[in-house]
């Protein structure tokens, strides 16, 4: 058994498309347009059509994308933004940095995402935006969230760093990709994301042309015309080199997602009869691109299982061990609304197993058998 099991295997993914990647990189090196080279615009166009004819603006990383989104929407210090308590810190960090107030709400026990029912009691006269995070690769239930946002005049910024290419289906049968349903979608091309580059990268998308202009301006020192600065902006660019790599990888994203889904189904089948764990629940309204395959391990056994797997050469990760509101950095920032039972229990129970497009059934069988051994002896 190959004991070099990884959460994601970036080396194999590169080797499978090595020639194409090397050529694309060489083109950037010889073209020498290292900043804002033609590959950046090309990628923005390619990703825009992949997502269904939306405007895409590249930036330096997913965290910047979120910051640029709130700046482009013109949010002001003291404005409230509703976020899930159970998420990666980046979502709420930039809200705090901008002097906005993150208002944290609990999540759904099945999808681990926020819902309209959980958001509604958190809305006040200061609320300006909602940030659904499509966690682990599955869309939040967006239709009721969009209705709620309309009713209260709120903006929606989707954090789709983990769900690029997931598809949500509305009750009238319309389908839209994650990140294209609200006002702005934000994503990350961090190497281990479903579409990863070879360093940092990110992007924002929107259906609104004027908003796309605003986003571009904020990401480029607040200027439309060089050396004429209309607003305070930041400097956040997608490198030409990363854009060239992403242009090569984007056509593979569909098959990457399909392979992740196949691997998830294989785990589902192998792990279905084990008591004491809950398998990922698939929402009937969203496809799942399985950025993570996350178990819930009951009865305080999570850490023990993780150690047992580690001893067998199997890595696993705890995304996330602490609710936002228990993080030291958020002690004096933001507000918590409603009971937080689900978030608190998820932080004690979640365990993400290795999953990536290149994982073999042999590796998965080994992992499944070790989990069975742990529970059944």
Ligand X SMILES: *Cc1c(COP(=O)(O)O)cnc(C)c1O
Give min distance, CB of 320 to ligand X, in A.
10
Which residue is it, tokens 């290795």? 354
Residue 10 lies near ligand X (rule: CB under 6 A): no
Residue 202 lies near ligand X (rule: CB under 6 A): yes
The stretches of the chain forming alpha helices (DSSP H) are 10-16, 18-31, 38-50, 62-72, 90-97, 116-119, 142-152, 209-219, 240-249, 253-271, 302-311, 341-349, 361-376
Q: Which among 14-22, 36-44, 154-162, 304-312 is the span making contact with ligand X, rule CB under 6 A?
A: 154-162
Identify which of residues 149 and 203 has a Cβ nearer to ligand X in the complex. Answer: 203
Residue 86 lies near ligand X (rule: CB under 6 A): no
Contacts of 252 (CB under 8 A, 6+ apart): 17
Q: Is 294 exposed, middle or buried (0-12, 13-18, 19+ CB in 10 A)?
A: buried
The residue from 14, 27, 120, 190 that contacts ligand X (CB under 6 A) is: 190
Give min distance, CB of 3 to ligand X, in A.
28
Q: Can you read off the two tokens belonging to residue 356?
A: 């990536």
Number of C-beta neighbours around residue 327 at 10 A? 14
Contact 88, 320 (CB under 8 A): yes
Residue 91 lies near ligand X (rule: CB under 6 A): yes
Give min distance, CB of 62 to ligand X, in A.
2
Contact 135, 86 (CB under 8 A): yes
Identify which of residues 135 and 371 has a Cβ nearer to ligand X in the complex. Answer: 135
Contact 349, 302 (CB under 8 A): yes
Question: Is 228 strand, coil or helix?
Answer: strand
Give min distance, CB of 162 to ligand X, in A.
5
> What's 323-343 look like in SS3?
CHHHCHHHCCCCEEECCCHHH
State CA 265 to chain mean position distance. 21
Give min distance, CB of 89 to ligand X, in A.
8
Q: Site residues for ligand X, window 18-77 (CB under 6 A)?
A: 61-63
Give min distance, CB of 222 to ligand X, in A.
21
How many residues bind ligand X (CB under 6 A)? The answer is 15
Q: Rounded distance, CA 159 to CA 250, Å?
A: 19
Q: Rounded distance, CA 92 to CA 84, Å?
A: 9
Which residue is it, tokens 């490198």? 239
Contact 127, 285 (CB under 8 A): no
Q: Rounded distance, CA 251 to CA 247, Å?
A: 8
Identify which of residues 13 and 61 has a Cβ nearer to ligand X in the complex. Answer: 61
The residue from 21, 73, 90, 305 that contacts ligand X (CB under 6 A) is: 90
Residue 294 lies near ligand X (rule: CB under 6 A): no
Give min distance, CB of 133 to ligand X, in A.
5
Q: Which among 87-95, 271-279, 337-345, 347-355 is the span making contact with ligand X, rule CB under 6 A?
A: 87-95
Identify which of residues 48 and 179 has a Cβ nearer to ligand X in the complex. Answer: 179
Residue 162 lies near ligand X (rule: CB under 6 A): yes
Identify which of residues 92 and 148 has a Cβ nearer to ligand X in the complex. Answer: 92
Identify which of residues 6 and 370 has a Cβ nearer to ligand X in the complex. Answer: 6
Give min distance, CB of 269 to ligand X, in A.
27
Identify which of residues 267 and 319 has a Cβ nearer to ligand X in the complex. Answer: 319
Residue 157 lies near ligand X (rule: CB under 6 A): no
The residue from 73, 101, 133, 271 that contacts ligand X (CB under 6 A) is: 133
Please spell the DSSP secondary structure of 7-62, one letter per residue: SS-HHHHHHHTHHHHHHHHHHHHHH--TTT-HHHHHHHHHHHHHTTS-EEEEES-H
Q: Rounded distance, CA 356 to CA 6, Å?
A: 9
Give min distance, CB of 138 to ligand X, in A.
12
Identify which of residues 291 and 296 has a Cβ nearer to ligand X in the complex. Answer: 291
Contact 346, 86 (CB under 8 A): yes
Q: Which among 156-164, 208-216, 346-354, 360-368 is the span making contact with ligand X, rule CB under 6 A?
A: 156-164
Give min distance, CB of 318 to ligand X, in A.
14
Query: Interface with ligand X by CB under 6 A: which residues?
Result: 61-63, 87-88, 90-91, 133, 159, 161-162, 188, 190, 200, 202
């Amino acid at each position: 058994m190959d004991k070099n099991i990884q959460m994601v295997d970036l080396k194999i993914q590169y080797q499978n498309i090595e020639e194409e990647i090397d050529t694309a990189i060489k083109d950037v090196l010889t073209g020498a347009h290292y900043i804002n080279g033609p590959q950046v615009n090309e990628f923005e166009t390619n990703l825009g059509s992949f997502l269904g004819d939306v405007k895409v603006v590249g930036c330096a990383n997913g965290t910047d994308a979120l910051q640029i989104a709130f700046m482009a929407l013109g949010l002001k210090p003291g404005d409230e933004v509703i976020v899930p308590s159970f998420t990666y810190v980046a979502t709420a960090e930039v809200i705090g940095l901008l002097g906005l107030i993150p208002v944290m709400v609990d999540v759904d026990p099945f999808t681990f995402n926020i819902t309209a029912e959980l958001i509604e009691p958190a809305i006040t006269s200061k609320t300006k935006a909602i940030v659904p995070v499509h966690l682990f690769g599955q869309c939040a239930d967006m239709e009721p969230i969009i209705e709620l946002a309309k009713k209260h005049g709120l903006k929606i910024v989707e954090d789709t760093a983990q769900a690029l290419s997931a598809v949500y289906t509305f009750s009238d049968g319309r389908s839209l990709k994650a990140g294209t349903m609200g006002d702005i979608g934000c994503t990350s091309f961090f190497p281990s994301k479903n579409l990863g580059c070879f360093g940092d990268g990110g992007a924002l998308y929107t259906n609104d042309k004027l908003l796309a202009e605003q986003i571009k301006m904020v990401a480029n020192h607040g200027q439309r015309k060089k050396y004429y600065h209309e607003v305070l902006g930041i400097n956040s660019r997608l490198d030409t080199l990363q854009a060239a790599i992403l242009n090569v990888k984007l056509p593979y994203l569909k098959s990457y997602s399909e392979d992740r889904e196949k691997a998830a189904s294989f785990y589902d089948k192998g792990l279905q009869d084990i008591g004491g764990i809950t398998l990922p629940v698939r929402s009937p309204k969203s496809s799942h691109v399985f950025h993570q395959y996350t178990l819930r391990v009951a009865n305080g056994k999570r850490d023990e299982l993780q150690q047992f797997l580690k001893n067998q050469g199997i890595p696993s990760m705890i995304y996330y061990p602490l609710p936002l509101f228990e993080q030291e950095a958020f002690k004096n920032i933001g507000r918590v609304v409603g009971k937080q039972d689900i978030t608190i229990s998820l932080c004690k129970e979640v365990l993400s197993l290795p999953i990536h497009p290149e994982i073999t059934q042999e590796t998965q069988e080994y992992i499944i058998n070790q989990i069975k051994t742990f529970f059944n002896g």
